[in-house]
Chain A
Amino acid sequence: MSTHSPALEVAPGGADGSRQVAPVPPEPPRPVHRRRRSARMAPMVLLIPASLVLIVVIGYPLLQLVIMSFQEFGREQVFGKPAPFVGLDNYVRVLTDSQFWAVLGRSVAFAAVNVVVTMLIGTLIALLLTRLNKGFKLLVSVGLLLAWAMPALTAVIVWGWMFDTQYGVVNYVLGMITGQDLHGNSWLSNPLSFFLVATIIITWQSVPFVAFTIYAGLTQVPDEVLEAAQLDGANGPKRFFLVTFPYLRSIFLVVTVLQVIWDLRVFTQIYALQGIGGIREQTSTLGVYIYQTSLGTGDYGAGGAIAVIMVVIMMAISLYYVRQSIKDEEL
């Protein structure tokens, strides 16, 4: 039988191996009340620089984006021609365009597959970590950290080289295993295998976060409860679903929501893979589609409308996350 880690042990770290849980215990701030006017003004003054940057660089462009989505806005407008208001025309054009629905459906399906695969593998690795001895645990942690630390673009380019049609190591190894000649097998030109490669890259980089976070949560589940369940005859999977999972429910939810957000937004991986050898029309996701419609085709009005739709979708999904963050932290 495996030995469980003591409840307070934290996840494996790199150098000193002891700092995986949240850095800051949420402690409600104890504010200082001052009657003087300068003290009442002080927080406002402190907030000015940050607020100014956010208003100028996020707020103002966001407003511009919304306005632009109601205008006829093409290349001529970029060079100074006035942009006439066209009401909901852009939205109607986008929403009746089958290409848009194809992209949206593709993005949602892609995100769904990635979230499920990432969560599944991440949870399995987290469970694995709880049962490994020190040496193996360190080995796995170092590997995961390396994958996590790689810049997204670098990762895409390295995987792109591994899946290279002519000299890729993947074709070679798979050829050795299956005994077929896969030399010249192109992974990126077929949309399905293109997304398989994208899923492998994204999973490779997202699993470490999921695994470490869930592992940190797993170590917080009281041993006595698990032992009691074991004495009552619950087997491994039963113990996980009936005891561990309810304990970690909110961690699972937050991590899943974050994965959904990140995977729906995916840009770098798809864009860079297309540059290595994918067919744009069949592989674009929402972010890449906005980029192409606006900067590629020059239809800024439609691009704006798609962008507004994307913001609305993301905000709706984020609501849960925002609410949870506020609840956890007790503002």
Chain B
Amino acid sequence: MTRKRLDSLLLGTAAVIVFVFSVFPVYWMINTSLQPNNQIRTVVPNFVPANFTLRNYETVLFDTTRSDFMPALGNSLMVTISTVAIALVFAFLASLAVTRFRFRSRKGFILAILIIQMIPAEAMIVSTYRVLDSWSLLNTIAGLTLVYVATVLPFTIWTLRGFVNGIPIDLEEAAMIDGCSRTGAFWKITFPLLAPGLVATGVFGFIQAWNEFLLALVVNSRPEMMTLPVWLRTFQVATGTTNWAAIMAGSTLMAIPVVIFFLVVQGRMTGGLVSGAVKG
């Protein structure tokens, strides 16, 4: 039986190592953000906040001379929310078309969606910049939203398509036999069943748009039009060697909504990603 003991000891140790390695950076971010900046610049780091303070959060949130957090938060919220709303409506319509109807270019459309998803944004930055520039959409909420809608659409359509497919059409047909119109049957029967799918897909879109860095960096470069990731990077470069505590406070603030949303939908993440994938 000692063999078994040893086994479980080893497994437990491995589990703890994985846990510590995964969590430590998150812990360190929060730990640093809760200490006065001069306290973190010591030879022996404080592994718990020795002089607990919320000053760094105050600096990031309200010291407008040093941090543009609030305007960036506003931009991020506007872009992200509009992106999710528009992408959901458009993707919903498209997913209905490809699931509830048979038509000639149906397969072609789905194939195109999968292929478009694989075009790297890194390659598209310059032409996207130029096209938006020619429409005077650089440094606007509308321009960045438009780009983001296109970025999240393929994944959103693909995922929603799966959800609609999962709702048997028999239910609609039964309602139609009972005297519902086709549209009525859809709204009364299928749509409510689709709600969780819409929420999950919407949250994926939210996370992607909220985290997106490259396109925001290129398209909305003016300080007053920055989104949170671009702000965080600018803030880090500007104060990098002098105020890591404030940078960690900013990082924490930016990560909170994503982590919460992520935990809400994570269960659907793996399946969704394996079939039709986008990484933020």
Contacts and interface: CB of A to CB of B under 8 A. Distances in A.
Interface in A139-156: 139-140, 142-155
Contacts of A62: 119, 124, 127
B149 A53 contact: yes
B259 A304 contact: no
Counting chain A CB atoms within 10 Å of each CB, which of B89, B90, B274 scores highest?
B274
Chain B interface size, under 10 / 10 to 19 / 20 to 34 / 35 or more: 35 or more
Interface in A265-322: 265, 267-268, 271-272, 275-276, 286-287, 290-291, 294-295, 300, 303-304, 307-308, 310-311, 314-315, 318, 321-322
A139 B255 contact: no
Contact of A153 (B162, B197, B211, B267): B211
A157 to B, nearest CB: 5
A331 B107 contact: yes
Interface stretch (A92-100, A112-120, A159-167): A159-167
A223 to B, nearest CB: 19
B266 A13 contact: yes
Nearest to B122: A287
Contact of A65 (B93, B123, B270): B123
Contacts of B57: none
Contacts of B93: 46-47, 49-50
B248 A158 contact: yes
B18 interface: yes
Counting chain B CB atoms within 10 Å of each CB, which of A33, A54, A271 scores highest?
A54
A42 B99 CA distance: 12
Nearest to A264: B120
A23 B213 contact: no
A314 B244 contact: no
A251 interface: yes
Interface stretch (A128-136, A191-199, A224-232, A239-247): A128-136
A61 B218 contact: no
A210 B118 CA distance: 19
A310 B123 contact: yes
10 contacts: A23-B166, A56-B146, A136-B15, A145-B263, A145-B266, A149-B259, A151-B255, A151-B258, A154-B251, A164-B244
Interface of A: 1-2, 11, 13-16, 18-33, 39-40, 42-44, 46-47, 49-51, 53-54, 56-58, 60-62, 64-65, 68, 78, 125, 128, 131-132, 136-137, 139-140, 142-155, 157-162, 164, 166-167, 169, 172, 183, 204, 208-209, 212-213, 216, 251, 254-255, 258, 261-262, 265, 267-268, 271-272, 275-276, 286-287, 290-291, 294-295, 300, 303-304, 307-308, 310-311, 314-315, 318, 321-322, 325-326, 328-329, 331
Interface of B: 4, 7, 11-12, 14-16, 18-23, 25-26, 28-29, 32, 40-45, 89-91, 93-94, 96-103, 106-107, 109-112, 114-116, 118-120, 122-131, 146-147, 149-150, 153-154, 157, 162-163, 165-166, 168-169, 197, 200, 210-211, 213-214, 218, 229, 232-233, 236-237, 240-241, 244, 247-248, 251, 254-255, 258-259, 262-264, 266-277, 279-280
